[in-house]
Amino acid sequence: MKGLTPRSKDQAKWYQEVVQRAELADYGPVRGTIIFRPYGYALWEMIQKKLDERIKELGVENVYFPLFIPYSFLKKEKEHVAGFSPELALVTYGGGKKLEEPLVVRPTSETIMYAAFARWVQSYRDLPLKINQWANVVRWEKRTLPFIRGLEFLWQEGHTVHQTKKEADELVKAALLMYKDFVQEELALYSIAGFKTESEKFAGAVYTTSIEILLKDGKALQAGTSHMLGQNFARSFQLQFLDEKGKLRYPWQTSWGLSTRIIGGLILALGDDKGLRLPPRIAPIQIVIVPIPKGRGKKEVIDWSRQVYQELKRMGFRVFLDESDHTPGYKFNHWEMKGVPLRLEIGQKEVKEKNLTLLRRDKNERLTGQLNYTFLSNLLVEIQDNLLEEHRRFTSDHIVKVDSYSAFEEEVKKGNLVQVFYQDNPEIEAKIKEETKATARCIPLDTFEEKGTDFYTRKGEGKVTLFARAY
């Protein structure tokens, strides 16, 4: 097997090789689309399953809405249609005939959902309304990269309707912190939660919050977003309810989502020169068994490997037994590329001594142990914790505080997450992006009350804001 291009030599080539050689995805026939291969889709299914449990803990129910949306629906909210117009895919013909009204292939579902909500919500008794959809969306991106940015991707989108602004604000924060906890506890990714600037907020929202992840190439990834939509869409779609006093009022709404771009984040944040390194809690395969049969002991090796496989399954681990006729070296490279957290190597020595030879994928380190649930469980927890600590330390080491624009430019070039005091100004933000390619990632929740002199204008008071180059 040809060696993987080192990350330090060519990050872009390394990434695309990992995506294909780890069998996560292949390229689709239409530019900017990908085919999810079984291993890549299994990874998404693990993410979907674990996140869905957390979403339902918020009292949210799953639904499914149509893929096609009347174009007139998007035009009802001016900021919304303006924000999405460059990315829309329109259907103008159906059944061999030109349609009376173009249909939009779902870029997001606010408009089609809220038209239905206007029928479903009549009084305060119908609120709060909390729904979530697992679906695909289409956005006609000019520059694409598998998982990170594509014409079509998979995601969940939550939408809620509330009587009061306070309830909606609380839900926005709850969804944001749900994402932060999820990526940390399940994906071993450290993130920073905060508010978006005016330039970066969702089209049509009052404000947007996000979790931001710093990747090993020095770029940031917006990994999950939660939006306060206020009453903007309710007014556009005549979504109203009768309160307890019989007065007709507009409700307050939220929307929030996380997509398959998180898989790209996993690759770029945790991967190494051998390929993926998957956290055990989210890995489709936690343990792979590689038999090394030789000579007369071949049958004993295979038999005991199968016994170990059955025992590990009984213990509840996600385990795979590789009985293919490839060489052990090929198998080792293959499973390291796929990022399986633990590899068990079973040869005649292991059969005779009834012990295990293991490789920890996070540290690429060999060790020995027993076929014992507590030992293996603790080892997987150690791997999960180590990956998170690595990423937490990496992020912390690359957050740099500066107070001048010249220092800002230097630190952005180095691939750091640059912390400054910044007075939100869309025109200045556009200049910064043009000059440095850096964008405002977020105004962190943890330092939201801190203020200081604006680093760019040297006038006025700004809030702590993180900037970085981003995908």
47-68 per-position pLDDT tens digit: 999 999 999 999 999 999 999 9
What is the band of 85 on the pLDDT scale with cuts at 50, 70, 90? confident
pLDDT of residue 452: 97
What is the band of 295 on the pLDDT scale with cuts at 50, 70, 90? confident
With CA atoms as reference, report the closest residue to 255 among 144, 122, 117: 117
Lowest mean pLDDT among 221-235, 285-299, 308-322, 338-352: 285-299
What is the band of 421 on the pLDDT scale with cuts at 50, 70, 90? very high
Whole-Å CA distances, 243 to 17, 159, 236: 57, 21, 20
Lowest mean pLDDT among 71-75, 195-199, 282-286: 71-75
Q: How far apart are CA 198 and CA 426, in angstroms?
A: 7
Phi/psi-derived region of residue 261, left when phi > 0, alpha when psi is between -120 and 50, beta in every other case: alpha
Tokens of 390: 């690595």
Residue 310 has pLDDT above 70, yes or no: yes
Cβ neighbours for 292, distance < 8 A, ≥ 6 positions apart: 301, 328, 345, 346, 347
With CA atoms as reference, report the closest residue to 172 among 254, 63, 116: 254
Q: Which helix (H) or strand (E) holds 315?
A: helix 298-315
Phi/psi-derived region of residue 303, left when phi > 0, alpha when psi is between -120 and 50, beta in every other case: alpha
Domains of the chain and any CATH numbers: 11-64+110-270 (3.30.930.10), 287-377 (3.40.50.800), 399-468 (3.30.110.30)
pLDDT of residue 75: 83
Q: Where are the beta strands (DSSP E) in 370-416?
A: 399-401
Q: How far apart are CA 141 and CA 17, in angstroms?
A: 22
Dihedrals φ, ψ of 454, to 5°?
A: -55, 130
pLDDT of residue 46: 98
**Cβ–Cβ under 8 Å, residues 256 and 193:** no
Residues 368-395: what's their mean pLDDT? 97
pLDDT of residue 81: 67
Residue 77 has pLDDT above 80, yes or no: no
Q: Is 374 exposed, middle or buried (0-12, 13-18, 19+ CB in 10 A)?
A: exposed
With CA atoms as reference, report the closest residue to 203 among 63, 75, 68: 75
Residue 11 has pLDDT above 80, yes or no: yes
Q: How far apart are CA 80 and CA 88, in angstroms?
A: 12
More confident call, 32 vs 84:
32
Q: pLDDT tens digit string along 86-138?
A: 889 999 999 999 999 999 999 999 999 999 999 999 999 999 999 999 999 99
Give me the half-sphere count of Cα atoms (radius 13 Å) on the Cβ side of residue 141: 18
Residues 211-226: what's their mean pLDDT? 97
Residues 57-86: what's their mean pLDDT? 87
**Which amino acid type is present at position 371?**
L
**Which amino acid type is present at position 372?**
N
With CA atoms as reference, report the closest residue to 285 among 264, 266, 309: 309
Instruction: Give the bridge partners for 320, in sequence order.
Output: 288
Encode burial over 41-58: b for 16+ CB neighbours within 10 A, e otherwise.
bbbbebbbeebeebbeee
| For the chain, percent of residues with pLDDT exceeding 70 | 99
**Cβ–Cβ under 8 Å, residues 255 and 159:** yes
Q: How far apart are CA 144 and CA 140, in angstroms?
A: 9
Q: pLDDT tens digit string along 353-369?
A: 999 999 999 999 999 99
Tokens of 457: 């204008």
pLDDT of residue 80: 65
Residue 149 has pLDDT above 70, yes or no: yes
pLDDT of residue 465: 98
Residue 171 has pLDDT above 70, yes or no: yes
Residue 276 has pLDDT above 90, yes or no: yes
At 287, is the secondary structure helix, strand, or coil? Answer: strand
Tokens of 435: 């000059």
Whole-Å CA distances, 21 to 188, 329, 334, 441, 444: 23, 16, 8, 31, 37
Residues 285-307: what's their mean pLDDT? 93
Give me the half-sphere count of Cα atoms (radius 13 Å) on the Cβ side of residue 467: 31
pLDDT of residue 1: 59
At 256, is the secondary structure helix, strand, or coil? Answer: strand
Lowest mean pLDDT among 101-105, 201-205, 390-394: 201-205
More confident call, 1 vs 55:
55
pLDDT of residue 121: 98
With CA atoms as reference, report the closest residue to 111 among 68, 152, 151: 68
Q: How far apart are CA 135 and CA 115, in angstroms?
A: 18
* Average pLDDT of the chain to the nearest whole number: 96
Residues 195-214: what's their mean pLDDT? 96
pLDDT of residue 25: 98
- Sign of the alpha-carbon dihedral angle for 293, 299, 302, 303: negative
Residues 178-196: what's their mean pLDDT? 98
Dihedrals φ, ψ of 314, to 5°?
A: -60, -35
pLDDT of residue 74: 86
Give me the half-sphere count of Cα atoms (radius 13 Å) on the Cβ side of residue 29: 0
> Side by side, which strands form the sheet with 365-369?
319-321, 287-291, 342-346, 356-360, 365-369
Q: Is 316 exposed, middle or buried (0-12, 13-18, 19+ CB in 10 A)?
A: exposed
Q: How far apart are CA 47 and CA 187, in angstroms?
A: 9
Residues 403-417: what's their mean pLDDT? 96
